[in-house]
Amino acid sequence: MTGPRFEVHVCTTCADPDIERRRLKQGGGRDLLEAIRSEIETRSFAADCTLLDFECLGSCQRRGRVSIASEGRWGVVFGGLDDRTDPRPLCDYIGAWLARPFGEIVKAERPPSLKNKIIGRVPPPDHHRNCLNTAIDQRPNQAISAVSLSLPKSGKSE
């Protein structure tokens, strides 16, 4: 049985976060992409994954950037990932992320080596509506309040 389809995006143009490896022209985005590919291939969710390389994912001060995304789940952006040490914990994170209804993983349940490497999270579209229609024990640990903006109908500024 397959799970939800998801994507892993890897920035392939950034150099390695380690200065010595950069000097030796080792590591970097391409090596990170291949290391992640090798690890994903060993996982039960491999058939559901689309691994994509991108020339830039932004936030260039945190080299080794990767993001994960799937319909109805929180997207996550990682930075500072190392091709030698982080593919396994990243795939552990992905496995836990896929096991949650909305991909919400509280800090205490994140792999220790990734706790300081999460740059940001992006809620899925209509997340507040999804939560309201979900059993309380299945909801993510997020406070959600809906805000409605009223804009002038005339389009004129006041």
Residue 139 domain-assigned (yes or no): no
Give every CB contact of residue 13 below 8 A, 6+ residues apart in sequence: 29, 55, 56
DSSP 8-state assignment for residue 108 = G
The backbone torsions φ and ψ at residue 131, rounded to the nearest 5 degrees and listed phi first, read: -65, -40
**Class of residue 54 by CB neighbours under 10 A (exposed 0-12, middle 13-18, buried 19+):** middle
The pLDDT score that the predictor gives to residue 125 is 78
Structure tokens at 1: 């049985």
**20 in any annotated domain:** yes
Angle, in degrees to the nearest 10, between helices 87-99 and 29-40: 50
List the CATH number of the domain containing 95: 3.40.30.10
Copy the structure tokens of residue 137: 């024990």
Under 8 Å between Cβ of 94 and 68: yes
In a domain, 91, yes or no: yes
**pLDDT computed for residue 47 by the predictor:** 96
Asked if residue 157 is part of any domain, the answer here is no
pTM score: 0.77
88 occurs within a structural domain: yes
Render each residue's pLDDT in the chain as its tens digit; 158 residues: 467 899 999 998 887 777 887 788 888 889 999 999 999 999 999 999 999 998 887 777 778 899 999 998 999 999 999 999 999 999 999 999 999 988 988 888 899 999 899 999 998 876 565 556 555 555 555 544 444 455 556 555 44
The CA distance from 82 to 113, in Å, is 10
Angle, alpha carbons 77-78-84 (nearest 5°):
150
Q: How many domains does the chain have?
A: 1
Q: Which two tokens stand for residue 154?
A: 């005339």
The encoded tokens of residue 16 equal 């390695």
pLDDT at 96: 95
Q: Which domain holds residue 75?
A: 6-124
pLDDT at 115: 87
82 HSE (CA, 13 A, CB side)? 10
